[in-house]
Amino acid sequence: MTVHVLILCTHNSARSVLAEGMLNHWATKLGRDVQAHSAGSAPSGRINPFAIEALNNAGIDTSTCRSKSWDEFSRDGAPPLSIVITVCDSAAAETCPVFFGGTGGQPVKVHWGYPDPSNAEGGDAGKRRAFELTRLAIGYRVLQLLALPLEAMDRTALHAALVGIGHS
């Protein structure tokens, strides 16, 4: 059974897109039945070009990336979410819509904060460096998530493990 993970950020243009790309990339490489999705509470309607560049430079396909609303994941027919991760502080502070989980009920929700690489100083070179560092940091946590025995964990254990990863 596929484990669906939703990564949220306000504009769904940078950090959440990096996380979706990294999680799907590593899940495929490691043969894990995990599918990442990303969305925003106020989607910008476009992906930050530096996010696309960082993912492409890492060999990750970005052809299906798009900025979308979290509303897509609270409707009938949405994938049954197991995990919801916020990656920006403003999204973490917002009241999320009701997301539908699989057989376990509501998804486990956690916050893994990252500074916004779009605000990096130093012109384009500074932004490129910030996006690459953010991609690497997200990749580190994603690999820890994929190392978990997700199918065998109850909600409490999964939440504790994900909170621990967020503090790493």
Active site residues: 9, 88, 96
Q: How far is CA 37 from CA 12, 22, 40, 150, in A?
A: 10, 11, 11, 17
8 vs 17: CA distance, rounded Å: 9
Angstrom distance (rounded) from CA 19 to CA 15 = 6
Distance CA 115, CA 103 (A): 34
Lookup result for tokens 């530096």: 50
Answer whether 83's CB lies under 8 Å from 99's CB. Answer: no
